[in-house]
Structure 1
């Protein structure tokens, strides 16, 4: 009988955790780049250019990559596969482009765990330059949402976004 009480309490705690755990996420970071918005946007809409500033490419420069379609257009797909645990495997597809405003992508992660997110790069004129916002958003499924109670995605991924944006800024400002 004690076992049933303990089991009931454990199940009640699990149900409460599932109900209160975050189900949606939106991680983003921004940087100011001293370049015109059209120049920055044209660079960002090419997914292959991410190889020059992506923190994950720096973690595994030798990762296997495949590209399908015409880069910088809706439907272009970039696939990657890496044994590095922070890089994993997956693909990114351009889903929408708004000239000089945004690049939207759908990202499918295959390993180290399966998940899907929607990525975005926003460009906005600011003074003589451009404010770039890099982010991604999605929904956690059960039990992943419960695990997010113990893992700060904003802090973990945000750090990578900050590093990538700093490299992007340096790259674009030093190469007119």
Structure 2
């Protein structure tokens, strides 16, 4: 009897671990918005990481979040860090790792709490015409084995995409607001 119970317990533990071997570990999300402003005006706003405080959903989650920075914002090598007791915000930093003038800013996000991870992200601008710009905000993530099993039960991609989209919608409101 004890052998049968032990076999059942081992099987119950092994099945999820085996299943996780076949679940993807990497994911990518991208959100888009059209902003009625010239591409360089939009690019010159989003290239400054500190401006994310004005439109990012995560920045709004904790008004008491502590922030710090190193370097010159809007240039390669600039690092912006944050620390929050709110587990939905956590602790981490992001660094500008590449800039294609007027088109794309590539970032490396380094999360320290509540989990550790390194993820690439970007903001890209593209002129639709002289007074309209398409902005794309993208993020890639990795969930190592066996944590990747959570991807079967939690739609991480949709959650992040929704937050990115809300941030871009906020950005649109900021950049299209009438100048007083």
> Considering the TM-score relative to the shorter chain, is it more than 0.5?
yes
Query: What is the CA deviation profile of residues 22-52 of structure 1, one whole-angstrom value per residue up to 9, with x for unaligned ones?
Result: 2111011100001111111111111011111
Listed as ranges, the gaps of 5+ residues in structure 1 are none
Partner of 2:143: 140
Query: What is the CA deviation profile of residues 68-121 of structure 1, one whole-angstrom value per residue up to 9, with x for unaligned ones?
Result: 001111110000001112111100011111111111111011112222211110
Give the Cα separation in 1 of the matches to 2:97 and 2:153.
32
Q: How does 1:6-85 map to 2 (within 5 A)?
A: 6-85=8-87
Q: List, as ranges, runs of 4+ consecutive aligned residues in structure 1 with deviation greater than 3 Å.
A: none
Partner of 1:5: 7
CA-atom RMSD in angstroms? 1.5
Give the Cα separation in 1 of the matches to 2:125 and 2:35.
10
Per the alignment, in what secondary structure is the counterpart of residue 132 of structure 1? strand
1:15 offset after TM fit, Å?
3.5
Matched residue count: 176
Tell me the TM-score normalised to structure 1 length.
0.93
* 1:75–1:93 CA contact under 8 A, matched in 2: yes
Give the Cα separation in 1 of the matches to 2:41 and 2:19.
47
Give the Cα separation in 1 of the matches to 2:55 and 2:170.
5
Listed as ranges, the gaps of 5+ residues in structure 2 are none
Larger Cα-atom Rg: 2
